[in-house]
């Protein structure tokens, strides 16, 4: 890996904010790197305020959306809450459904089937709505490009309110309201909300319109925080405020459906737990079965039913994990057997590879072979593929260059999906490899770690860790600080750990007691480290609990000897 340092802030700025806040120099540098350069901005950063959320009526079409829902409430229209099958979509549906259920006699949650309907609003979903007498569909985390689908719904007497956060095309669907801050004609101040965030702004506006108690909104923030974490949106502005209060809600009074997913945690849940524990389980419902099971879990209030649904989802997640591990192993063997280690791209396929996990497999292959990757699953005479990219390389544009070999594709810079004819596989693979070769830059072929600053281990104290922890919630554009330390030396107690001995437990000399670090998949460095030769490392700082004792621990991201 290539290591890159963030730019060092101006020393006067560092000193000024250090004095203003009475904080260590290290923290002052980290704040300035995050654009926080004065007392007021630091106060807002360390103490996010719910009152600082923007007025939801600043969003284009919000008034129209609220008035149509209010009319539907008075007329008691049948209502469908429609969302995508991923975490953002299922949490969005759960949020809006839970909020509106007391106001409507007939309200139906709907998630399209990942395999028979695909992403976004489907004709099948609209037909189901028509059969059930639905007069209004609220679409969440999808719909911004559904021009023809909305027109089709109108022909059946169904109105649409669209709540989306994806980039719109030139033409906006002719819906009652289209809530999307990324609309060019929308002046809403914050553009980076996820789908569930847009759903929250809708219920925030309804709360104001109906003169409900705004404190009731807090109970929905555990869902919003889950979506923010899972959808990897910037942890800035409103997202950071919503995530901050969502984590508080999750720690204090989470909805009953989330409790089984966090019950085994030894420490209060964090954004990391949302990303690696809760989100995969919610996603597994749609990958391996029906995503509606995730919605049912998140809206259910009866303990027995919650436990049954949670058990089902846990089983699906175990199945998902086993399946993606098997396919990843098969794909890596295939790359090796075909002697394709030196290619610029990875394109592989399997007859029995589960469509629900090929995106995960593509991401895992990049961990071993760092290059744009397409993983296909064979479906009859077609092949369905998931695409993942490396930092800086636009795979959507690469697919555009190969469109002569593709039936359909969609996505964005770093992730996409496509369908091709089975007999076009070899031609597509050749075209994709050539496109990547022609367009990828040398730097984009090397994984990079960006670290915040260089420190000595003596600077790492429990007090520093407590302040660092207050920089959270962490996420894109506010990542957990990464430090670099040079010329570290083994204390004599470093060793290989793990079932297969592939991980490294470091014990590093300091002026006082040794500093412990864990480096996953780095046991190959052990011989060098035990020889008492110096080494450099980049890491984040964490706390470790053992036998009732809490101590600082380094989570090592990379080593250089």
Choose among 52, 86, 60: nearest CA to 240: 52
* Residue 376 pLDDT > 90: yes
- Does residue 270 sit in the same domain as residue 407? no
Q: What mean pLDDT value characterizes the chain?
A: 95
Task: Examine residue 537 and state whether it is found in any structural domain, yes or no.
Answer: yes
DSSP states of 68-104 as a string? Answer: HHHHHHHHT-EEEEEE-SSHHHHHHHHHHHHHHGGG-
Residue 485 sits in a domain whose CATH number is 2.40.50.460
Its pTM surpasses 0.85: yes
| Boundary-marking domain end, from 387, 415, 445 | 445
Question: At a CB cut-off of 8 Å and minimum separation 6, what does 387 contact?
Answer: 362, 372, 373, 374, 395, 399, 411, 415, 416, 417, 418
Q: How far apart are CA 82 and CA 109, in angstroms?
A: 6
Domain that holds residue 497: 2-6+450-560
435 and 464 both lie in a single domain: no
Q: 487 near 533, Cβ under 8 Å?
A: no
Task: With both helix axes pointing from N to C terminus, report the angle between 221-231 and 279-288 in degrees, rounded to the nearest 10.
Answer: 80
Residues 458 and 426 in one domain: no
Are 363 and 411 members of one domain? yes
323 belongs to a structural domain? no
Q: Are residues 424 and 511 in the same domain?
A: no
Task: Confirm whether 246 is domain-assigned.
Answer: yes
Same domain, 464 and 435: no
Place 191 in a pLDDT band, splitting at 50, 70 and 90.
very high
Helix runs in 369-506, H state only: 395-401, 425-439, 462-469
From CA 148, how far away is CA 157, in angstroms rounded? 14
Residues 159 and 270 in one domain: yes
Give the model's pLDDT for residue 154. 98
Give the integer Cα–Cα distance in Å for 348 and 202: 42
The answer to whether residues 400 and 470 belong to one domain is no
Residue 119: predicted pLDDT: 82
Strands 107-110 and 134-140: unpaired
> Does one domain contain both 252 and 376?
no
Q: Is residue 27 part of a domain?
A: no
In a domain, 205, yes or no: yes
Model confidence at 379, pLDDT cuts 50, 70, 90, reads confident
Q: How many structural domains are present in the chain?
A: 3
The answer on pLDDT for 547 being more than 80 is no
Query: Quick one: which of 385, 388, 349 has its CA closest to 366?
Result: 388
Q: Please check whether residues 62 and 159 belong to one and the same domain.
A: yes
Token output for 442: 């040398």
Please indicate, yes or no, if residue 19 is contained in any of the structural domains.
no
Residue 74 lies in a domain: yes
Do 103 and 244 fall within a single domain? Answer: yes
pLDDT confidence of residue 549: 80
| pLDDT band (50, 70, 90) for residue 49 | very high
Query: Mind listing the pLDDT tens digit for each residue in 50-78?
Result: 999 999 999 999 999 999 999 999 999 99
Each residue's pLDDT tens digit, 243-287: 999 999 999 999 999 999 999 898 899 999 999 999 999 999 999
23 lies in some domain: no
Q: 445, 464, 493 — which closes off a domain?
A: 445
């Amino acid at each position: 890996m290539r290591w890159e340092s963030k730019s060092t802030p101006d020393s006067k700025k560092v000193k000024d904010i250090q004095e203003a806040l009475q904080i260590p120099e290290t923290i002052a540098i980290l704040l300035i790197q995050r654009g926080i350069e004065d007392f007021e901005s630091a106060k807002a950063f360390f103490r996010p305020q719910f009152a600082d959320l923007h007025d939801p009526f600043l969003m284009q079409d919000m008034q129209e959306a609220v008035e149509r829902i209010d009319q539907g409430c008075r007329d008691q229209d049948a209502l469908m809450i429609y969302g995508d099958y991923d975490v953002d979509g299922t949490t969005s549906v759960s949020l809006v459904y839970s909020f509106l259920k007391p106001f409507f006699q007939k309200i139906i949650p709907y998630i399209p089937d990942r395999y028979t309907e695909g992403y976004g609003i489907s004709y099948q979903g609209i037909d189901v709505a028509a059969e059930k007498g639905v007069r209004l569909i609220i679409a969440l985390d999808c719909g911004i490009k559904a021009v023809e689908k909305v027109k089709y719904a109108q022909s059946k007497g169904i109105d649409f309110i669209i709540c989306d956060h994806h980039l719109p095309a030139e033409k906006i669907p002719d819906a009652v309201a289209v809530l999307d801050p990324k609309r060019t004609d929308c002046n809403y101040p914050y553009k980076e909300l996820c789908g569930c965030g847009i759903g929250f702004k809708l219920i925030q506006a309804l709360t104001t319109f109906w003169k409900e108690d705004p404190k009731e909104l807090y109970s929905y923030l555990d869902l919003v925080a889950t979506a923010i974490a899972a959808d990897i949106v910037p942890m800035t502005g409103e997202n950071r405020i919503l995530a901050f209060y969502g984590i508080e809600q999750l720690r204090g009074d989470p909805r009953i459906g989330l409790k089984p997913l966090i019950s085994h945690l030894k420490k209060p849940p964090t954004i990391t737990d949302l990303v690696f524990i809760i989100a995969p389980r919610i996603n597994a419902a749609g990958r391996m079965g029906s995503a509606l099971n995730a919605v049912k879990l998140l809206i259910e209030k009866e303990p027995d039913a919650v436990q049954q649904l949670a058990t089902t989802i846990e089983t699906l997640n175990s199945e998902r994990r086993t399946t993606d591990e098997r396919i990843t192993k098969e794909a890596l063997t295939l790359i090796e057997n075909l002697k394709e280690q030196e290619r610029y791209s990875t394109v592989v396929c399997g007859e029995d590879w589960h469509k629900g996990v090929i995106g995960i497999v593509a991401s895992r292959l990049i961990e071993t072979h760092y290059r744009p990757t397409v993983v296909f699953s064979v479906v009859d005479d077609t092949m369905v593929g998931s695409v993942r990219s490396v930092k800086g390389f636009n795979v959507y544009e690469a697919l555009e260059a190969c469109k002569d070999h593709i039936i359909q594709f969609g996505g964005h810079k770093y992730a996409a999906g496509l369908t091709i004819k089975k007999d076009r596989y070899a031609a597509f693979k050749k075209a994709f490899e050539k496109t990547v070769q022609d367009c990828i830059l040398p730097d984009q072929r090397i994984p990079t770690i960006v670290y915040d600053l260089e420190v000595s281990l003596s600077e790492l104290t429990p007090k520093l860790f407590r302040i660092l922890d207050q920089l959270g919630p962490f996420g894109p554009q506010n990542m957990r600080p990464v430090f670099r330390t040079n010329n570290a030396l083994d204390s004599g107690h470093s060793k290989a750990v793990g079932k297969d001995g592939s991980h490294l437990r470091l014990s590093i000399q300091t002026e006082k007691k040794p500093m412990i670090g864990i480096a996953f998949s780095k046991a190959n460095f052990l011989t060098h480290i035990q020889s008492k030769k110096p080494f450099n490392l980049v890491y984040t700082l964490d706390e470790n609990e053992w036998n009732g004792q809490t101590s600082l621990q380094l989570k090592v991201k990379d080593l250089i000897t």
